[in-house]
Amino acid sequence: MYTNCPICGSILTPSDTWPQSGTHVFTKVFECGTEVDCAISEGPEEVGSTCDGSIKRFDMKEFLQLRKQRVPAIKTLDYLHIIIPVYYTQTFKTKPDKTFLVNLNWYRNAHYFIKNEVKQAYNELIITYLKANNIQPIPGKYELAFEYYYKSVVSDLDNVCAMANKHCNDAFQAYGLVENDNVKYCIKSTYYVKEQDKKNPRIEVYVRAIPEEDK
């Protein structure tokens, strides 16, 4: 069992060195903030959270293997995966609700009020996900990939993904995930048609921090 943080070597907090009487699974808390879930028997151990905040779960066997290979166990960000809808429903008090595809054709003709409403809805959706998963900022350049699961075969890939790109980058900046979405930082955006999904049309977004050696 670990007496030092497997990430940075910090010592255990005194109250968490041993499990309480009668427990079979307990958590070690280190002074740096790392938490390791342990079992009294020879069960699996996992990092519950880390001192740098970059992961929430990490299998200890995999961690030890990485240490043997002298590969850093914790990376700031590899791929971030977010799923966002492509349709939005505008609600009204005195007439039926209206559902529309969020694309450039809609954006070109929409009133600024509904444009802002849609933007706020995407912001809330994306930022809630980032906060819930404790996603840490990307230190520098990044790239994006968008996989489009379309409902109708007549929809346009660029029209839909361009709006998803805008809404994602707006939310990333509002959250602080990226420093900026200009060409200094966002160096690549790629759109793909994945497949038809009439029941759950969507875009699956992949965000990757560009490693220092690739810059």
**Of 75 and 31, which is predicted with more confidence?**
31
- Token pair 């427990």 in the structure block, residue: 23
Q: What is the pLDDT of residues 62-100, one digit of tens each?
A: 544 544 443 333 343 467 889 999 999 999 989 999 999
pTM: 0.63
Q: What pLDDT is stored for residue 79 in this prediction? A: 75
Q: What is the pLDDT of residues 144-202, one digit of tens each?
A: 999 999 999 999 999 999 999 999 999 999 999 999 999 999 999 999 999 999 999 99
Q: What is the pLDDT of residues 96-123, one digit of tens each?
A: 999 999 999 999 999 999 999 999 999 9
C-alpha dihedral, 109 to 113 to 115 to 116, nearest 10°? 160
Ordered by start, the domain boundaries in the chain are 14-68, 79-214
**Of 65 and 129, which is predicted with more confidence?**
129
Q: What pLDDT is stored for residue 35 in this prediction? A: 66
Cα 54-31-17 angle, rounded to 5 deg: 115
DSSP 99-139: EEE-SHHHHHHS-HHHHHHHHHHHHHHHHHHHHHTTPPPP-
Instruction: Look at domain 79-214 and name its CATH class.
Output: alpha beta
Angle subtended by helix axes 112-132 and 157-175, to nearest 10: 60
Sheet holding 186-196, edge to edge: 79-85, 202-209, 142-150, 186-196
